[in-house]
Structure 1
Amino acid sequence: MKELYLMRHGETVFNKRKLIQGAVDSPLTADGIKMAQKMGAYLKKQGLTFDHAYTSTQERASDTLELVTKQPYERLKGLKEWDFGLFEAQPQYLLPKFTFKDPAEASFFVPYGGESTQQVMARMQKTLSKIMARPKHQRVLVVSHGLAMWMFLANFMSFAEMAEKVKDMPNCCVLRLGYDAGKFTFEQIIDVRNLPE
């Protein structure tokens, strides 16, 4: 079985200020840099090496990857964060409280120039499947974004299952996933906050 290590970027200025960031970008904070370095040191200590590395085209993701590993990598638009349209760079409290039970929620951001849940799910699934289907891709590191990662998991896990197994997806966490015969399975979450100093 192939392994995908799917990582969320480090803490950013917008994360700290509680501003919505999807298509817009903001730099890593000093804490975000430390988180990425800590996760990189942990992965190295575990003896994990990666055949290939990928990141979204957004600076916060590529900066995180460069702090985790010095190996070459490829930037892919399909790994970018959910586009929230006119909600970008606005306070997070303006976001509706999604239940993921009301079908109308799926297209909430579309009238504001953003993406639907289905669009995010489909592009993440397509991009990550293409990556993992490539030859000599037995263990791969990918840096992406929190909500895009949640939507990716929703392709093969229920929200109840995600709430039980994943719970929280903090900055610089890593989801260890299996990939076999075109299908992904969730194996483990590595939370940087729980790693030894």
Structure 2
Amino acid sequence: MLTRLLMVRHGETVFNRERRLQGWLDVPLSDFGLAQARACASYLATSPLTPVDRVYSSPLCRARHTAGAISDAVAADLTTDERLREIDVGEIAGMAWDDVAHEYPRLMEEYRRNPAATRYPGGESVFDVSDRAGDFLQSIVTAHEGKTVAVVGHAIILKAVICHILRLDVPNHRRMTLGNASLSVAEVAVRGGDFHGRVLRLNDRHYLEALGLDVYSEIH
């Protein structure tokens, strides 16, 4: 049986707006991000996508607070999972991308050549994130077979999960955009140790526009 995943990226933070790398820094939601989280939660509460068996979240507060709004709205228990953390960008956490380009030119050159394989200094590569994404996906599909779960996380980890579902090579994560408080919906099963699934929605944010929020205000 297929397990349905409701994958939500956390709401906006000030670092998102300023184009700063967050990594594992515990940056809270901005006021606008809280409004985004509540809008997503309100939509899911009355959506035919429910009921939700459980809500899983990254332990970082920007995801956890987004997940909390969803958990309350759909009346499902919330579980944090370390495997859903954002990519660890190591020593450049908190820096603006423009400053990284100036202070780490060799890193940026490598990133332009092969972003998925580039390891941040003192941190991870996207391939590292993909490993934990696959492990997480395997465990929840097994635990919630035939049910619906919400997964609240960060752009890179959710893109990695989607790549596993579609059996895409890791570098394909660059082809996707997941805006803050966006919803992506997939159905997936595990057969013979492999994932078999499909994506029904990607980067859906229509509910933000309906509640008076600018869907295109930022997509980082």
The two structures have a TM-score, normalised by structure 2, of: 0.77
Identity of aligned residues (%): 23
- Within a 5 Å distance, the mapping from 1:74-89 to structure 2 comes to 74-89=79-94
Does residue 157 in structure 1 map to residue 190 in structure 2? no
Q: Whole-Å Cα distance in 2 between the matches of residues 144 and 58 of structure 1?
A: 9
Q: Whole-Å Cα distance in 1 between the matches of residues 45 and 94 of structure 2?
A: 35
Does residue 55 in structure 1 map to residue 64 in structure 2? no
Letter paired with 2:61: E
Total equivalences in the alignment: 190
Letter paired with 1:178: E
Partner of 1:28: 29
- 8 Å contact from structure 1 (residues 7, 175) kept in 2: yes
Partner of 1:177: 186
Partner of 2:18: 17
Give the CA deviation at 1:135: 4.3
Give the CA deviation at 1:160: 5.9
Partner of 2:210: 196
Tell me which moved more, 181-190 or 35-44.
Answer: 181-190
CA deviations over 1:123-148 (Å, ceiling 9, x no partner): 01111220121146610001010122
Structure 2 stretches of 5 or more lacking a match?
102-107, 212-220
Q: Whole-Å Cα distance in 1 between the matches of residues 146 and 35 of structure 2?
A: 28
CA deviations over 1:48-104 (Å, ceiling 9, x no partner): 2201111011111110011223132111100000000111001122263745xx458
Does residue 45 in structure 1 map to residue 56 in structure 2? no
Structure 1 stretches of 5 or more lacking a match?
none
Does residue 7 in structure 1 map to residue 8 in structure 2? yes
- 8 Å contact from structure 2 (residues 141, 189) kept in 1: no
CA deviations over 1:112-132 (Å, ceiling 9, x no partner): 111122110010111122012
- Within a 5 Å distance, the mapping from 1:135-150 to structure 2 comes to 135=144, 138-150=147-159
CA RMSD of aligned residues (A): 2.3
SS at match of 2:210: coil
Partner of 2:217: none
- Give the structure, 1 or 2, with the largest relative contact order (CA under 8 Å, sep 6 or more): 1
SS at match of 2:117: helix
Q: Whole-Å Cα distance in 2 between the matches of residues 190 and 22 of structure 1?
A: 21
The two structures have a TM-score, normalised by structure 1, of: 0.85
